[in-house]
Amino acid sequence: MYAVRAHGNPGEAYAGITFQHNGSRYTQPGDQENNPRTFVHGLPFGGAPAGAATTLDLKLPDYQLVNISAGLEFGNGLGIVAYINNLFDENALLAFDRERGGRARLGFHVGQPRTFGVTVRKRF
């Protein structure tokens, strides 16, 4: 850290970076069996017959997240932080989701996309 001056009040500047690695994994123990898994729809929909099926590999791939931030803390209790979360806009698959045992919607929960902003706070 190093000191800066704003309107005569001494303060500190800082910067940070975080890296998170998540390895490949299954979201539920049952997803490890019969992988890749085939889900039979069981109902006709959108022109597809009731016996139509979807086959998915339920082993989720690994992903990495990088977050960065930089800020200023002033002696008067004012703080300003600029940040970028998920810097490289990684499309992380977090979990597999299925409705009605796989006969309805099949999908994946995904991580938050790249997000950036500024936080201002004041201590009293």
pLDDT in tens, the chain (124 residues): 444 444 555 689 999 999 999 999 988 777 777 777 887 877 777 787 888 888 888 899 999 999 999 999 998 899 999 999 999 999 999 988 877 665 667 888 999 999 999 999 999 8
| pTM for this prediction | 0.73
- Answer for the pair 84, 116: CB distance below 8 angstroms, yes or no: yes
- CA–CA gap between residue 53 and residue 40 (Å, rounded): 4
36 upstream amide cis, omega within 30 of 0 = yes
> Cβ neighbours of residue 48 under 8 Å, at least 6 residues apart?
41
